[in-house]
Structure 1
Amino acid sequence: MLDGKNIIGYDRTQRGSVTFRTINPVLNKENDTLFYEASEEEVEQAVSLAQKAARFYSETTHGDRAAFLKAIADEIMALGEDLIEIYCKESGLPEGRAKGERSRTVNQLKLCAELLDEGSFVEASIDTAMPDREPNPRVDLRKMMVPLGPVAVFGASNFPLAYSSAGGDTASALAAGCPVIVKGHPMHAGTGSMVSSAIISAAKKSGMPEGVFSHLNSKGHAVGEALVKHSQIKAVGFTGSHGGGRALFNMAAEREEPIPVFAEMGSVNPVVFLPEILKKEKEKWAKTLAGSVTLGSGQFCTNPGIMMGIKGSELEQFAEILTDEILNISPSSMLHPDIAGKYEEGKKMMHSQKGTAVVAEWKEKTEPNVGRQAILKVSASEFMENPKLHQEVFGPFSLLVECLNIEDLERSVALLEGQLTASIIGTSDELRGYDFLIGLLRDRVGRLIFNGVPTGVEVCASMHHGGPYPATTDSRFTAVGHDAIKRWLRPVCYQNCPDELLPVALQNANPLQLLRRVDGALTQSKI
């Protein structure tokens, strides 16, 4: 049962004076539960508990941490239909999406547990002593990754489960051995609170220290700012707007002890059509793109916000079919009145830019907060001259850029900012003839997609969900998959340390049976 309180360690508190309610965007009215924003005192208590828990938790075995993550997954599933109901009430998203996202969240936790069982993430490396080496002896050197310390995670507006309280940031940080404090998103505070209760239940059953996890309610910016500025917070995970992510990044950099902020800040995910493919498969790709643009009312960081192709009859016919396809899809509710309002503002901004024209736009009347899809078009020359046309419009929107020739297309791609993804659509033969264009796209993205759309992010070892700035604050890291854990770790080298004092991963006997780099060779053997 929801009580609107903050979850600090094993306590539930409500010391703040600021309150708020979530909104049901489909009904366009507030939900019942009153939530209490965390006070300065509650923020301090959560961080203090996390700092105290950090030393014990960082030294728990991989097996114990894996069991903890699996227990969280079980506790989330045990919430049953109550979780699905509050998710739908707070997001306006359908039941199928809620259950799918719950499965993704649970699978992320299990994936991190599998990574702990396998153990390679510690990157154990050993160079044994060479006392007789001439002219200089070599000391014994052993290196591995260790947890950073307490992490602040910001819940995302568009994924109440998969990028929020128990989402990828939390799962990977807990796997790394870092206590987590979640700054809940005010749009789905009830969903976050329920999931956080499940995490606490799992922590108690798994014997984890109090403070390994806390969940703080927040209506405005004060709680987030207090967390980022706190000297005991060692890293930040964020998924949201460019403005929000950049503000946190700057704040963290200005601390007396700067800390990393791993922020995913949006993307327009360009889709590039080569000439021959539209001669053969324009109907297929028009239908596919219409579905991708409108999926989830366009509220994905991988929504295809820009399409590019060579101007001519084939592109014109593609646009005509795309118009029919996208207008055959009924618009759906957006996550919140504020998001719906910003989407309409974004569309108006694009409409007002020189040279833009409507390809397709839903004109019929809808219920409040529904995202009415739109496709505009513009020439490549106007696109290259106007940076505003490169901006993300968060919702079911895309801009078709008409290029005069392949050189025009390449120049347009070269001006794109960093993106999470880019897609290139072409026949097998013509893909082999566009190496330069493929290279331009690769240099601007974290995931390059061939003959596919960007929506849909597989949670697995080979996925990279990140990209050059401004898509993220650090293109070397991913928010999805095995390597997400690397954000919350740092290397430590032990020099001439007695074997019995070494971490288990670096001991001579290799009791964890890790694949380690020993004197330059990968091996599981003892030393």
Structure 2
Amino acid sequence: MQISGASYIAGQWCIAEGADKFFGFSPKLNQPLTTPIFEATEQMLQQAVSAAEQAFVVYRQTSPAERATFLYAIADEIEALGEQLLEVTHQETNLPLVRLQGERGRTMNQLRAFAQSLEQCKNGLLDLDIKDQADPNRTPLAKPYTHLSYLPVGVVAVFGASNFPYAFSTLGGDTAAALAAGCPVVMKSHTAHPVTSELMTHAIDKAIAKTGMPKGVFSMIQAKGYGIAHQLVAAQPIKAVGFTGSFGVAQKLMETIATRKEAIPFYGELGSTNPQVVFAQKAAEQGKQLAQSLCQSVLMGNGQFCTSPGLWLVPSDAEELIEEAIEQLSQSKSDTLLSPNIVRSFKRSVELLKNAQGVSLLAQGVLEQTFHANAHLFCTDANTYMENKQLHEEVFGPSVMMVKYDNAQQLKQLVDSLEGQLSASIHGSNNDFVTNAQLIEALQYKVGRIIENQMPTGVEVCASMNHGGPFPSSTDVRSTSVGLNAMLRFLRPICRQRAE
């Protein structure tokens, strides 16, 4: 398939006259790629938003079955892209092909799961409808008939993520949830994988044509300048925003949203250190095996998962676990990160930690290329960690902060000191879980998901999943960006009432 470098606006591939160009980047070769991508203009973005607003009038009236057919068609067209999609994304991200195959499958399954939910709903979307029957004989006032159902909120802005080029990008979870809810999408692609975004957009373009959906139901904007992103969230027809990315970028976008006359929700998934709470009996009995699993999880994707286990809370005497972690990470080899900016940020963060008072560097992996990121294992005591908020910050990449605790009381204090997290794992025996029941009860108020004796990397796409958490891991603790309930972010209640 020929790559144009264009933006896609309501069924048309568009390049502005005299448009500026930017280029993707090859992390593997550490050099820019050669395919030019053309910067969208503010006028093009306005056309996309206006087309989406017009399409909403038609799209919101489609039946759940019609939207299910649309989502199935999108998934089928992604599959039809074949090897070209995988090869292009590998070139743009250097993520392993096996990882990309799995993520592509997850992305298609995500779309199909929403489609199946739409097909199976018998009582409104997600079976949320509530009906209260009338009682004309009630005194002193007759009771009316009331019916609570849900409407799509309107046009949704979606921002692609760097670390998940399929599952959290062009046709990822936010887009799938919005389309399932009945909302058109204006999507801002991520500059780390612009050609991937174009290929994925070809898939939805074909699905739109096959199912007869309004052309403005989806647009994809290519732009490297920050101005377009702020224009998008400020546009009056935008009624909600789905975002996966850094806290800093999210904060700036939220500041722009705050200047709007109409307040809109900003659903941001912003990152997490995903604490690994290791209880004493588990550390004593299975310390070596647990260390191996933790290290494998940290090194998965070279630490570029939003659920990477970056904080380990371990007993001070867990010598077997600590020694094995040192050995595993010391032998690990460096790898690329998704962009030069991410590499620079990683290196700055680990240098700060190397110089932090009370922090020791226990191990670092083999650095095979200067533009790579290698694993780092830092260690500190509980008091130092609680006193220094810098140590609480996420390091995006293969870095671990191990915090040693002396007793159950100190571990409880550590949990109390945590900021909001997407997930936390508790590693222990049944006896550990009983003994530490109060700590686990407190931990659930710090996280969106508690995992028992498993690693946090890997988020199951299913009806019962929750991928979100207290601030600053996400901007709305009540919502999830994964699973069928992700659709709720883009719905609003409506009540119909009548006398009978």
Aligned to 2:108: 106
1:246 deviation in Å? 2.1
Q: Is the 8 A contact 1:270 1:305 kept in 2?
A: yes
Aligned to 2:5: 4
Aligned to 2:338: 335
Match of 1:167 among 161, 168, 172: 172
SS at match of 2:228: helix
Letter in 2 for 1:178: C
Q: For residues 276-355 of structure 1, what are the structure 2 equivalents within 5 Å?
A: 276-312=281-317, 315-355=318-358
* Structure-2 separation of matches of 1:368 and 1:415: 36
- Provide the TM-score with structure 1 as the length reference: 0.92
Letter in 2 for 1:439: E
1:454 deviation in Å? 0.8
Letter in 1 for 2:345: K
* Structure-2 separation of matches of 1:398 and 1:254: 38
* Structure-1 separation of matches of 2:367 and 2:420: 36
Q: For residues 146-157 of structure 1, what are the structure 2 equivalents within 5 Å?
A: 146-157=151-162
* Structure-2 separation of matches of 1:241 and 1:471: 10
Letter in 2 for 1:493: C
Aligned to 1:260: 265
* Structure-1 separation of matches of 2:358 and 2:393: 16
Match of 2:205 among 196, 200, 203: 200
Q: For residues 36-185 of structure 1, what are the structure 2 equivalents within 5 Å?
A: 36-119=38-121, 120-121=125-126, 123-185=128-190
Q: Is the 8 A contact 2:333 2:367 kept in 1?
A: no
Q: Is the 8 A contact 1:28 1:368 kept in 2?
A: no
Match of 1:462 among 461, 464, 470: 464
* Structure-2 separation of matches of 1:352 and 1:304: 22
Letter in 2 for 1:141: T
SS at match of 2:88: helix
SS at match of 1:372: coil
* Structure-1 separation of matches of 2:260 and 2:371: 39
Q: What are the ranges of 5 or more consecutive residues in structure 2 without an aligned counterpart?
A: none
SS at match of 2:350: helix
Aligned to 1:492: 494
1:125 deviation in Å? 1.0
Query: Which runs of 4 or more aligned residues in structure 1 lie more than 4 Å from their structure 2 counterparts after TM superposition?
Result: none
Q: For residues 418-437 of structure 1, what are the structure 2 equivalents within 5 Å?
A: 418-437=420-439
Q: Is the 8 A contact 2:446 2:469 kept in 1?
A: yes
Letter in 2 for 1:327: S
Letter in 1 for 2:126: F
Aligned to 1:521: none
SS at match of 1:71: helix
* Structure-2 separation of matches of 1:57 and 1:436: 49
Letter in 2 for 1:252: I
Task: After superposition, give the CA deviation of every residue in 1:281-311 in whole Å (9 maximum; x if it has no partner).
Answer: 0111010001011100000110111001221
Q: Is the 8 A contact 1:152 1:233 kept in 2?
A: yes
Q: Is the 8 A contact 2:334 2:369 kept in 1?
A: no
Aligned to 1:14: 15
Letter in 2 for 1:333: T
Letter in 2 for 1:449: I
Task: After superposition, give the CA deviation of every residue in 1:345-400 in whole Å (9 maximum; x if it has no partner).
Answer: 111111121100011112x4422432200110001110010100000000001100
Match of 2:361 among 358, 362, 366: 358
Aligned to 1:378: 380
Letter in 1 for 2:285: K
Aligned to 1:191: 196
1:122 deviation in Å? 5.2
Q: Is the 8 A contact 1:156 1:163 kept in 2?
A: yes
SS at match of 1:418: coil
SS at match of 2:454: coil
* Structure-2 separation of matches of 1:28 and 1:390: 30
* Structure-1 separation of matches of 2:203 and 2:175: 13
Aligned to 1:248: 253
Q: Is the 8 A contact 2:134 2:499 kept in 1?
A: no
Q: Is the 8 A contact 1:273 1:425 kept in 2?
A: yes
Match of 2:226 among 221, 240, 248: 221
Q: Is the 8 A contact 1:292 1:453 kept in 2?
A: yes
Check 1:134–1:365 CA distance in 2 against 1; reply closer, same or farther (3 A cut).
closer
Q: Is the 8 A contact 1:271 1:308 kept in 2?
A: yes
Q: What are the ranges of 5 or more consecutive residues in structure 1 without an aligned counterpart?
A: 499-527
SS at match of 2:147: strand
SS at match of 1:33: strand
Q: Is the 8 A contact 1:319 1:359 kept in 2?
A: no
Q: Is the 8 A contact 1:122 1:146 kept in 2?
A: no
Q: For residues 497-516 of structure 1, what are the structure 2 equivalents within 5 Å?
A: none
* Structure-1 separation of matches of 2:57 and 2:111: 22
Check 1:453–1:138 CA distance in 2 against 1; reply closer, same or farther (3 A cut).
same
Task: After superposition, give the CA deviation of every residue in 1:110-166 in whole Å (9 maximum; x if it has no partner).
Answer: 001011112242511111222221011111211101100000000001011110000
Letter in 2 for 1:389: L
Task: After superposition, give the CA deviation of every residue in 1:459-483 in whole Å (9 maximum; x if it has no partner).
Answer: 0111100000000010111000010
1:433 deviation in Å? 0.8
* Structure-2 separation of matches of 1:238 and 1:126: 34
* Structure-1 separation of matches of 2:199 and 2:183: 21
Task: After superposition, give the CA deviation of every residue in 1:226-270 in whole Å (9 maximum; x if it has no partner).
Answer: 110000000000000111122222322331001000000000000
Letter in 1 for 2:82: G
1:412 deviation in Å? 1.1
* Structure-2 separation of matches of 1:430 and 1:41: 60
* Structure-2 separation of matches of 1:169 and 1:318: 39
* Worse overlay, 385-394 or 433-442: 433-442
1:497 deviation in Å? 8.5
Q: Is 1:26 aligned to 2:28, yes or no?
A: yes
Letter in 2 for 1:149: G
SS at match of 1:117: helix
SS at match of 1:280: helix
